[in-house]
Structure 1
Amino acid sequence: MSLRFPAGQAGPASSRSGARRRFLRAFTLLEILVVLAIIGLLAGLAITNVDKIFGGAQISTVQLFVRESMKTSLTTYRIHLGDYPSTGDGLQALITRPSAKGDRWNGPYIEGGKVPLDPWGEPYQYAYPGTRNKGSYDLWSKGADKQSGSEDDIGNWDSAAPTEK
């Protein structure tokens, strides 16, 4: 009795040579090392640029907070009490009733029970009346350098994003 194999399929004797051909088609050690070196290079570039990649998100978060999120809370406070919180009362007046404001305070105007910190872990700065926004308030983050008055400050007066150093 003879075994017949369909066309295109090898018999038992040629299956060993097929396995040898598959083995010869595998990656060489050199090819694997080159791929690993490229992956390592790309990972190194990504790690060194993480701050630049996510720094833009931090700036956008602050801009949204000082221009929109807090604007709503401060405007509601002004509608209820007739004016913005004083510099002395600060943003804390949005959470706890200032002693001089009496019954008109209808807060808290911020959820969470505390004034949020900026992305760098610092409190937002507030002044009323503002020096940069005449007739209104100034609200700003000291930025990544954590120094008020430097060029990386981000406030509700900014018309453009600060530049990266």
Structure 2
Amino acid sequence: MMISPKSTPELSAVKNLDKFLNIKEQAFTIVELLVVLAVIVVLAGITFGTASGVQTARMKATARAEIMLISQSLEDFRIAHGDYPVSVGPEDNAVTLSKALFGWKEFRGEPLKFVDRSPRSKLKVEAFIDPTKVLYEGDLPEDLKRKPLNVRFIDPWGQPYVYAYKDSKEWNNFAFVLYSKGPDGLSEALPANGIYDQNYKNLETNIDNIIVQD
């Protein structure tokens, strides 16, 4: 039969010291764990922020490239028809733009009006843009002999590009206006005179707009 040693003040002190050291050791381990977790969170935030920034930059570059492509297509349209697509009227400007560049708008009549191409026209439909080179939404027939319905060229954020040309009597811009609303998808209405100047650019909702001149 084993006999437990009697408890003495010295023995109790040793036991209490052991407990204290164990608690300190455990507490230090928890602190270390929290520090490691904090470092992981910080590194994850930096990585995510960097990746997000790279993605945004890539999307902005894509938008600029598409704006340049559409702009060149508009120049080709002007050479063929004598002027840019006019965006006056009840039709959505973005729809007017796509119809024109897919060959379904023309100047016709006296006085001259910018209208949909007649389905009975015997002239070959002449598209000014390759639909595989730009994002779009809507019903675009495989055969452009059929009229596209509600087609809009869209930017990398899924918003239609903003287009305007001679859409008011106050229009005072010799060229068209074409831009993306940018990541936030917001933009103030273009001034009636069609001038996209620095004052318009500096409006709060326009700061991240992407325009071909940028």
Common fold: TM-score over 0.5: yes
Alpha-carbon distance in structure 1 between the residues aligned to 2:81 and 2:74: 10
Aligned to 2:8: none
Q: Sort the Cα spacing of 1:141 and 1:65 in 2 relative to 1 into closer, same or farther, 3 A.
A: same
Describe the superposition over 1:31-60 as per-residue Cα deviations: whole angstroms up to 9, x where unpaired: xx9999866653342124432222112222
| Number of the residue aligned with 1:72 | 72
- Are 1:154 and 2:210 counterparts? yes
* Counterpart in the other structure of 2:184: 145
* Secondary structure of 2:163's aligned partner: strand
Is residue 95–residue 108 contact of structure 1 (8 Å, CA) maintained in 2? yes
Question: Where in structure 2 are there 5+ consecutive unaligned residues?
Answer: 1-32, 89-95, 106-115, 133-139, 141-150, 189-205
Whole-angstrom CA distance in 2 between matches of 1:145 and 1:37: 31
Contact residue 73 and residue 110 of structure 1 kept, 8 A:
no
When residues 147 and 132 of structure 1 are mapped into structure 2, their CA distance, relative to the original with a 3 A threshold, is farther
Give the equivalent residue in structure 2 for 1:18. Answer: none
Per the TM alignment, residue 81 of structure 1 is displaced from its structure 2 partner at its CA by 1.3
Letter in 2 for 1:79: I
Q: Percent identity?
A: 30
Distance 2:49 2:79 in 1: 48
Q: Secondary structure at the residue paired with 2:166?
A: coil
Matched residue, 1:95: 102
Alpha carbons 1:62, 1:141 under 8 Å: kept: yes
- Give the structure 1 partner of residue 155 of structure 2: 118
Structure with more of its chain in strand, by fraction: 2
C-alpha deviation, 1:116, in angstroms: 3.3
Alignment partner, residue 14 of structure 2: none
Q: Deviations over 1:54-90 (max 9, x none)?
A: 2112222212222x21122111111111111111422
Counterpart of 2:165, as a letter, is: Y
Query: Any residues of structure 2 matched to 1:45-64 within 5 Å, and which?
Result: 45-64=46-65
Deviation digits for residues 89-142 of structure 1 (CA, Å, limit 9, x no counterpart): 223321251225864862253324454310111010100138999211110001
TM-score, reference length from structure 2: 0.48
RMSD of aligned residue pairs (Cα, Å): 3.4
Identify if the C-alpha distance between structure 1 residues 85 and 119 changes in structure 2 by more than 3 Å, giving closer, same or farther.
same
Count the aligned residue pairs.
128
Closer, same or farther in 2 for the Cα pair 1:104/1:82, shift >3 Å? farther
Check the 8 A contact 2:163/2:178 in 1, yes or no.
Answer: yes
- Could you tell me which runs of 5 or more consecutive residues in structure 1 were left unpaired when the two chains were aligned: 1-32, 160-165
